[in-house]
Amino acid sequence: MTISYCSYLGEQEVTIEDEYGNKLLTGEKKVSYSEPKNLRAVLSSATGKLERSIFGTEGKYSHVLTVYDSGVDLSENDILFIRKKVEFNEDGVPKGDAVVASVSKSLNVTNYGINMVDVS
């Protein structure tokens, strides 16, 4: 199956420009991601559980994404679009439906543990 993803690039300092053209730091940070890319992978069936607590019901489930292409280099915190189309919020953050939680590389294949989330 073809899956789109945006790589996590890190946090950048937010700056503003004063009336003299000087760039000033605001003390805020903005998370940045790469442009969307596509990959071909095998997605496992979902595993997980539904928990009920005093704070409400929470569903936790994950998949294993198996990639045979050594050129794909996903890392933790990358955002995936598995069931959603590629879309961004007003701050430029991808609104995917999964996040890479762990990476397990071997000689010929890489397995990624992913958590299904609502990224907004």
- Tens-digit pLDDT string for the chain (120 aa): 899 999 999 998 888 999 999 999 998 998 899 999 999 999 887 776 656 555 555 555 588 899 998 888 899 899 999 989 999 998 888 999 999 988 999 889 999 989 888 766
Q: For the chain, give every domain's residue range.
A: 2-6+36-116
Token pair of 6, please?
């945006």
pLDDT at position 39, please? 94
pLDDT at position 57, please? 52
Token pair of 87, please?
């879309």
Dihedral sign (CA 1, 74, 82, 34):
negative
- Name the pTM for this structure: 0.76
